[in-house]
Structure 1
Amino acid sequence: MNIERPQERLFRGDGGTYDDSVLLPEPPPWRRPRLDGEAAQRPYLIGEKQVEVVNAALRLRRPLLVTGAPGTGKSSLAHAVAAELGLGPVLVWPVNTRATLTDALYRYDAIGRLRAEERGTNDIGSFMRLGPLGTALATLHEGRPRLLLIDELDKSDLDLPNDLLFVLEEGEFTVPELARLSEGQAEVAVHVQGSQEKVRVRHGTIRCEDFPFVVITSNGEREFPAAFLRRCIRLELPEPGPDQLEGIVRAHFAEDLQQLETLWPRVQELIRSFTQRRSLGGLATDQLLHAVHLLQQGVQPEAEHLREAVLRELSHGGGR
């Protein structure tokens, strides 16, 4: 790893020209792009009680509704489960106020198909792609169920949680555009999300072979309907304490523990400062990891201007 020496600057901000002797240091492990199809391998640590709740949801094959303050690792939990259990790349549905159930199930390019028909082709499957929820129901990963992350459901339209109930409970859905086809076109191959794979759909209906494991995150910005909550296993992620934060830091910097040990008194001071500032307005664990990475590279994250940039409370600038 190219370690930045103390006080060495990458960007000088003095109007100078490009200097090819300045080497860019490697990014933190969690900021390195993954290869196609590669599952996340970022270390993830939670308490024993939380692990038991996750396992209950896995055994019951019920959606896991994860709540907690921003930065407690709600979304990361889904990637950790998928990596540890070999469920393949996580299928992610990031929810916003415009999200609809249909978007998560499939997308149909009606205009593209119309133009193709004008050219004499009529393969409707080429103009259809399953969304993250549709793919989770229609596919397996090496014989195992897929993992679907429905991220920040509390940002959705009020009706979306109820719209999800039938699909999550029954594990099936119908594509009207395919259901209307003639008997001679009863079986259609459609694309899935995240790969070149196609699945065959008969009579417009997709049924899962095995229920996917669904992780739903919420920042607690709204209440969900009782019928929806009844079908979920609920997990509240607490903010990690100092001892757990030390374990998280050691896990994320396992490749450089020897160097980290020489800096450990300063790392502990960062952890103390982090926990104190977190009580004022909320901080995400990622922010502590960023500060430790800068410290490891010879930067002084304790300096006031960097502390305000890297360890700024989420209540002052928003955050997930």
Structure 2
Amino acid sequence: MKFDSTQQYVATDDLKMAVNAAITLQRPLLVKGEPGTGKTMLAEQVAESLGYPLIQWNIKSTTKAQQGLYEYDAVSRLRDSQLGDDRVHDISNYIVKGKLWEAFEAGEQVVLLIDEIDKADIEFPNDLLQELDRMEFFVYELQKTVKAVHRPIIIITSNNEKELPDAFLRRCFFHYISFPDRDTMARIVDVHYPGLAEQLVKEALEVFFDVRQVPGLKKKPSTSELIDWLKLLMADDVGARLLQERDATKAIPPLCGALVKNEQDVQLLERLAFMTRRQGRQG
């Protein structure tokens, strides 16, 4: 069984090839790309396409690798011992299983998403090397080894906030999700809003890619932001004609708060519009 596009997700040929290559090699798939290009959604759609359950581990700056394996709740055990609870005699009552343990003991193959691994400490990836390589880990409190019943399909996402260690990279199959071109973007829009007026989509994409090409923009609008913007355009009945009739006197596109997310970029667009107006008067 191979991964393919789904009704909710447009996957390019090179992305489908990368997913299927990682599955064949039994290596984690490391996915990078601009925020909003569908890295997290990829894991959801791989699970749906293959018919496998999805286990999701969202990484934060405070997340430790050990939490993905298990945690021993010594505080609860101490409290129960003081209260005379019989549960204290079985230490397994105080072992909290992590997402890797959950994936390893699943009765069927699962898709395990390790989302935004670059948010964690630099040592986080190295601390998981052996577990991801050998698909097992040792639980000291129980004196037992947990081994994967079925090797999970592992998808790891990164926004490139930190460099990942070479030893970790060697164990992954890497794919960078390039920003979609206009044709691919039109297909993505059609997935989210089938039957949307062709002219509206065309004009909206013109505005969207024009904004992305503005030099000096601090944060370029992403795919997810385009989808939000289109939703607003439809809700407010802003037609293709209004977008088509835009000119230099309009500083920024209508409902631009869905596309432009900081004041520096708003000011940049306003300055560009002002300069264009002035050049028009001088001409």
TM exceeds 0.5?
A: yes
- Say whether the 8 Å CA contact 1:171–1:207 is kept in structure 2: yes
- Aligned residue among 76, 89, 111 for 1:147: 111
Q: CA deviation at 1:73?
A: 1.1
The answer to whether the Cα contact below 8 Å between 1:283 and 1:311 also exists between their aligned partners in 2 is yes
In the alignment, the residues of structure 1 paired with residue 233 and residue 14 of structure 2 have an alpha-carbon distance, to the nearest angstrom, of: 33
8 A Cα contact 2:232 2:255, kept in partner: no
Q: Does 1:292 align with 2:230?
A: yes
Q: What SS is found at the alignment partner of 1:98?
A: coil
Q: Contact (CA 8 Å) 2:60, 2:120: kept in 1 or not?
A: yes
Whether 1:238 and 2:178 are equivalent positions in the alignment is yes
Could you say which residue in structure 2 is the equivalent of 1:276?
Answer: 210
2:74 is aligned with 1:113: no
Q: 1:251 to 1:235 in 2, by over 3 A?
A: same
Report deviation, 1:70.
1.3
Task: Report if the CA contact (8 A) 2:111-2:153 is conserved.
Answer: yes
Q: Hey, what's the Cα distance between the residues in 1 that align with 2:73 and 2:58?
A: 21
2:280 corresponding residue in structure 1: none
| Cα gap change, 1:315 to 1:171, in 2 (>3 Å) | farther
One-letter code of the match for 1:294? L
Report the Cα distance in structure 2 between the residues aligned to 1:314 and 1:57, rounded to whole angstroms.
Answer: 37
Which residue is 1:167 aligned to? 131
Conservation of the 8 A alpha-carbon contact between 1:62 and 1:231: yes
Deviations 1:117-147 (A, max 9, x none): 322333433332211122112213xx3x111
* 1:61 to partner: Cα distance: 1.4
- Residues of 2 paired with 1:316 and 1:211: CA distance? 47
For 1:220, what is the secondary structure of its paired residue? coil
Q: Tell me the equivalent position of 2:150.
A: 210
Q: Does 1:73 align with 2:38?
A: yes
Give aligned pairs, total: 243
CA deviation string 1:44-80 (max 9, x = no partner): 1121112111100011110000011111111111111
Secondary structure of the structure 2 residue equivalent to 1:96? coil
Identity of aligned residues (%): 35
> Distance in 2 between the 1:157 and 1:315 partners?
30
Query: For residues 235-289 of structure 1, what are the alpha-carbon distances to aligned partners after superposition, in whole Å with 9 as ceiling and x for unaligned?
Result: 01000011111101111123xx2xx2xx321221111111121233421111111
8 A contact 2:57–2:115 mirrored in 1: yes
Name the amino acid aligned to 1:152.
Answer: E
Q: What is residue 135 of structure 1 aligned with on the other side?
A: 102
Residue 305 of structure 1: CA displacement? 7.5
**Unmatched 5+ stretches in structure 2:** 1-5, 244-249, 266-283
CA distance in 2: counterparts of 1:123 and 1:306, whole angstroms: 63
TM superposition shift of 1:314 = 7.3
1:96 matches 2:60: yes
CA distance in 1, matches of 2:179, 2:253: 25
Higher helix proportion (structure 1 or 2): 2
